[in-house]
Chain A
Amino acid sequence: MSENITRRSVLKNLAGIVGGILTLSAGRTCKAAVRHGLVSAHAPAGYDPFQHKWLMALDVDRCIGCGLCVEACREENSVPDSHFRTWIERYVITKPKPGSGETRGETIVDSPDGGKEGFPVSLVPKEDILKSFFVPKLCNLCEKSPCSQVCPVGATFQSPDGVVLVDKNYCIGCGFCVQACPYGCRFLNPETHTADKCTLCYHRITKGLKPACVEICPSQARIFGDLKNPVADDPLQRFISNNKVEGLKRNLGTGPRVAYAGLDEEVR
């Protein structure tokens, strides 16, 4: 055994290896940062995400629960069965028992197959219903999105145009983001084994089209627009100025941007 091998030289070599790994890591981090800047999920050349700020608003009173949006989303984005990028919930609030001193009775929520095929007649007799309404759900485009915060590799990120996207070629499929989303908007795609979610139909909006769900909605319950480039008599601006809007679960501090008008306190 060579006598020149000393503890000092061994430690020096070990330090060199650790230093090398750290340098490599820093290099890859820079590369990933650049990559994230460039990733644009099918955006056409020339599309500048810094020049747009997309937003969707929902008019709860207008939704009729037909489920066409869920179906259109499935067709447009090849969403696997039993998973949803958007869905509709039906809330049925019963009348309070006479003399109970309450303002309302029980709240029954359902969403059979995400509301894709519409909704069957409620099991609650009509005369017992205090009120009933449909609430479309989708990614809330959070300003401080908890899903992006927890992704261990940065595969999911907030695009400058306000959309939260997932790089499926980079996602490791750990499911942390699915756990972190308070709205149940994310799922692990059983085909790609990566996280999946609403992209606001990024491949469409970057070409100047509307998301599939907005395009097909027969009652104009979904309103979509670009906050940085309002059109003449912009429907989104008009909707926000004409309604008192709010976001879901604001108490969690995620800064949900999707604006709902006509929400009931029971909606979570």
Chain B
Amino acid sequence: MNAAILTNVVDALPQFEGYVYPNERTLHPLWSVLIVVYPYITGLVAGAFIMASLVRVFKVRALEPVYRLALLTALAFLLCATLPLLFHLGHPERCYEIMMTPHFSSPMAMFGFVYAWYLMAVLLLELWFDYRRDFVEWANTQSGLRGIIYRAFTLGVTDLSEPALRLDDRMGRIISVVGIPSAFLLHGYVGFIFGSIKANPWWGNVLMPIIFILSAVVSGMALCVFVYMFLCWARRITADMRCLDLMTSFLFYALVIDATIEGLDWLHRLYSAEEGIDVLRSLAASKLFYTLLIGQACLGTLVPLFLLGSMQLVRRKVAELNRRRVYFSCAALILMGVLAMRWNVVIGGQLFSKSLRGFMSYKMEFAGSEGWLLSLALLALPFVILTVLVKYFLALDLPTIENVVPGAVRHPNPPEARI
């Protein structure tokens, strides 16, 4: 077919069905794919932190091989969490006003503070207290750029006496305890940004923050499994199966809770059948069929539930290699499923008119600020940052120090179990 004719045909395709308010007749939704990426990345941060807290607060020692990796993953993603928002603003140069002159009744303004609190008061502090002793040691043994970096990160605090190390450990644990509600708050707030919009029958829902928190925990845990297995593969070392089994057990139970609450949400919507239910039902059956029913519900939830559930029952009978394959596939499927969930909420919530009389379409562009290329780059960026962080802070050639503090939980595992 001639290209010009094809363009005409595409242009002639109906962009709107039924009646939509004139101001809703825009080329793409106001919040497009960038705003899909934003809650996705933020959720991964919260989930990865919860995984780390299992070691620190709940003392699940079998997960120690991934403790630092989980924290670094959370940091890498947190550093990128606000970028999609920033790129999306009409006036990004005024973004600092959110922090400087916040409007306290706005969920978005409060998110700025929750984000800053989480980054500076929780994650960076916890990492620093955890790493300080290693920084001091590495500063003395490493030279060149690495030496400079480690020296800088000690922030001049080089005291390695026993009381100082004990204080490090205690501070780390206190921050972890504070960090759990903070991580919930971080992603609960993202859910609240959508849940607070009562104008939109899909978003304005009291369960929205809870669904966001639970899916965040699930996606973050899946990310930890994914990153840990990838790193072991890249470093040609065998993954600690005890750790992997336990991680995926936690992932399974988190997924059970998440799927239950999300199912409950839909059940409640269908049963109460409020004003917007016909619109939502018709969206699920048509425009969101592949992302909601196939992507999110089947591939992203039911298949991993079945596979991980079976592993809980017959784990001992399955060979390690096959178990690893199942775990890796489930982690990848869950990561994809949660991305589909963010898509369904953000884009799905804008595919129908607030008049409840019509539908809009969304054809994603390739380039430009609303294109999928930028979103893909923003999704890839945390992995690039994580690679750098792993190179400098989880390097195999760095000397590791056995814990000298009695009663402390840090790294009692032998060096070969670490990555």
Query: Which residues of A are at the interface with B, using a C-beta cutoff of 8 A?
Result: 1-2, 5-7, 10, 18, 24-25, 28-29, 31-32, 82-84, 87, 89, 107-111, 113-114, 137, 146, 149-154, 170-176, 178-188, 192-194, 252-253, 268
Q: Which residue of B lies closest to A31 (CB)?
A: B101
Q: Is the CB of B355 within 8 A of A184?
A: yes
- The answer to the question of B148 belonging to the interface, with a C-beta cut-off of 8 Å to chain A, is no
Contact B90 A5 (CB under 8 A): no
Q: Contacts A5-B157, A175-B30 given: A25-B91 contact, CB under 8 Å?
A: no
Known: A6-B157, A188-B30. A176 touches B19 (CB 8 A): no
Is chain B's binding surface mostly helix, strand, loop or mixed? Answer: loop
Residues of B within 8 A of A188 (CB): 30, 90
Which listed residue (A7, A24, A186) contacts B159, Cβ 8 A? A7
Structural contact, B157 and A7, CB atoms closer than 8 A: yes
User: B357 — which chain A residues lie within 8 A by C-beta?
Assistant: 107, 109, 268
B193-220 toward A: CB 8 Å interface, digit per residue (1/0)? Answer: 1001111100000000000000000000
State whether B94 touches A170 (Cβ < 8 A).
Answer: yes
What is the bound-complex CA distance between A146 and B196, given in angstroms?
10
CA separation between A174 and B102, bound complex, in Å? 14
B198 touching A178 by the CB < 8 A rule? no
Q: Which residues of A contact B318 (CB under 8 A)?
A: none
The stretch of B4-12, B20-28, B372-380 in contact with A is B20-28
Does B114 sit at the interface, judged by CB under 8 A?
no
B105 at the interface (CB under 8 A from A): yes
Chain B residues near A194 (CB-CB < 8 A)? 90-91
Query: Can you give 17 contacting A-B residue pairs, CB < 8 Å?
Result: A1-B158, A2-B156, A7-B159, A28-B100, A83-B22, A150-B106, A170-B94, A172-B91, A172-B92, A176-B193, A178-B30, A183-B21, A184-B22, A184-B24, A194-B90, A194-B91, A268-B356
Q: Do A5 and B156 have beta carbons less than 8 Å apart?
A: yes
Q: Which residue of B lies closest to A176 (CB)?
A: B108
- Residues of B within 8 Å of A10, CB to CB, are 155-157
Kindly state whether residue B109 has any CB partner on chain A within 8 Å.
Answer: yes
Question: Which residues of B line the A interface, CB within 8 A?
Answer: 19, 21-26, 30-31, 85, 88-92, 94-95, 97-103, 105-109, 112, 120, 151, 155-159, 164, 167, 193, 196-200, 353-357
Contacts of B30 in A (CB 8 A): 175, 178-179, 188
Contacts of B108 in A (CB 8 A): 150, 152, 174, 176
How far apart are the CA atoms of A178 and B89 in the complex, in Å? 13
Q: Is the CB of B98 within 8 A of A152?
A: yes
B98 touches which one: A110, A172, A173, A252 (CB < 8 A)?
Answer: A172
Bound-complex Cα distance A107 to B105 (A): 38
Least Cβ distance of B293 to chain A in Å? 25
**Please, which residues of chain B bring their CB within 8 A of the CB of A83?**
22-23
Q: In whole angstroms, how far apart are the Cα atoms of A10 and B153 in the complex?
A: 12
Instruction: Give the complex CA separation of A186 and B30 in angstroms.
Output: 11
CB contact under 8 A between A152 and B197, given known A6-B159, A173-B91: no
> Are A184's CB and B157's CB within 8 A?
no
In angstroms, Cα B31 to Cα A178, docked, is 10
Q: How far is the CB of B166 from chain A (nearest CB, A)?
A: 13
A172-B89, A180-B197 given; 6 more Cβ-contact pairs under 8 Å: A1-B156, A24-B100, A153-B101, A175-B88, A179-B197, A188-B30
Q: Is the CB of B106 within 8 A of A84?
A: no
Q: A172-B90, A179-B30 in contact; A184/B21 too (CB < 8 A)? A: yes
Q: Bound state CA distance, A84 and B22, in angstroms? A: 7
Tell me if B23 and A7 are in contact (CB < 8 A): no
User: Considering the chains assembled together, what is the distance between the CA atoms of A28 and B97 in angstroms?
Assistant: 9
Q: Contacts A109-B19, A184-B354 known; A32 to B101 CB distance under 8 Å?
A: yes
Which residues of the other chain, A, contact B356 by a CB distance below 8 angstroms?
268
How far apart are B376's CB and chain A's nearest CB, in angstroms?
A: 22
For A153, give its contact among B90, B102, B200 (CB under 8 Å).
Answer: B102
B199 near A174 with CB under 8 A, answer no
Min distance, Cβ A165 to any Cβ of chain B, angstroms: 14
Chain A min CB distance to B150 (Å): 12
> Are B89 and A185 closer than 8 Å at their CB atoms?
no
For B100, the chain A residues whose CB sits under 8 A away are 24-25, 28-29
Chain A hits for B158, CB < 8 A: 1
B198–A146 CB distance below 8 A: yes
Contact A181 B199 (CB under 8 A): yes
- Give the nearest-CB partner of B196 in chain A: A150
Contacts of A109 on B, CB cut-off 8 Å?
19, 355, 357
Query: What CA separation (Å) do A18 and B99 show in the bound complex?
Result: 13
Alpha-carbon gap, A73 to B46, bound state (A): 47
Query: Please, which residue of chain A has its CB at the minimum distance from the CB of B106?
Result: A152
**Considering the chains assembled together, what is the distance between the CA atoms of A151 and B112 in angstroms?**
13
CA distance A32 to B96 in the complex (A): 13
Residues from chain B with Cβ under 8 Å of A176 in the complex: 106, 108, 193
Contact A187 B199 (CB under 8 A): no
Chain A hits for B89, CB < 8 A: 172-174
On chain B, the residues within 8 Å of A149 by CB distance are 105-106
Q: Are A171 and B91 in contact, CB atoms less than 8 angstroms apart?
A: yes
B22-A150 in contact (CB<8A): no
Q: Which residues of B contact A28 (CB under 8 A)?
A: 100-101
CB distance from B129 to the nearest CB of A (A): 10
